[in-house]
Amino acid sequence: MKKSHIVLLIVLVAALGVVLSLILNTGSYENFETAFSKKGEKVTVIGYLNLDKKIDESMPNQLSFYMTDKDGVEKKVILSESKPQDFEKSEELVITGIADPDTDTFMATHMLMKCPSKYKDNQEVGSK
């Protein structure tokens, strides 16, 4: 084989690997109902923090709170991270983890917060 054929073969194998990794890692957003039906699978759920219930941060590097998904289903979430700054001010939460139907708890490994915009009150300033 020529060197150019070997290089081309290596490039094709690398490109195929990238395409397969992108296809296999595509996740979708779930609600709590579908997340709990996918026992043992890592899923992502979007919802809102329930401020009426207690936020427990008594364990180091663990946060426990209640979240309501976009369909209105509420579940207890245990996040294996410390409590983020301005957690109570978040408008929306995006959590990734595994649902545990036995304990009716969502075990989150990662969380993103959508915080309120600091420019919200000044939206009409630029239109004058």
Assess if residue 21 is contained within a domain: no
pLDDT at 108 over 70: yes
Domain annotation covers residue 15: no
Please give the average per-residue pLDDT across 70-76, as a whole number.
Answer: 94
Mean pLDDT within 51-79: 93
Question: Is 9 inside any structural domain?
Answer: no
> Residue 67 sits in a domain of what CATH number?
2.40.50.140
Residue 65, domain member (yes or no) = yes
Structural domain contains residue 8? no
Q: Which domain holds residue 96?
A: 28-117
In a domain, 50, yes or no: yes
Question: What is the tens place of the pLDDT at every residue in 22-51?
Answer: 666 556 788 999 999 988 889 999 999 999
**Per-residue tokens: 12:** 């094709």
- Do the Cβ atoms of 90 and 114 come closer than 8 Å? yes
Range in 1-10, 42-51, 96-105 the model is least confident about? 1-10
Average pLDDT of the chain to the nearest whole number: 85
CA distances from 40 to 77, 87, 97 (A): 15, 27, 9
Looking at residue 14, what is its pLDDT? 87
d(CA 116, CA 100): 31
pLDDT of residue 16: 82
Note whether residue 6 is domain-resident.
no
What pLDDT, on a 0 to 100 scale, did the predictor assign at position 22? 61
Say how many domains are in the chain. Answer: 1
Is 35 part of any domain?
Answer: yes
Answer whether 0.75 is exceeded by the pTM.
Answer: no
Q: Determine contact, residues 24/44, Cβ cutoff 8 Å.
A: no
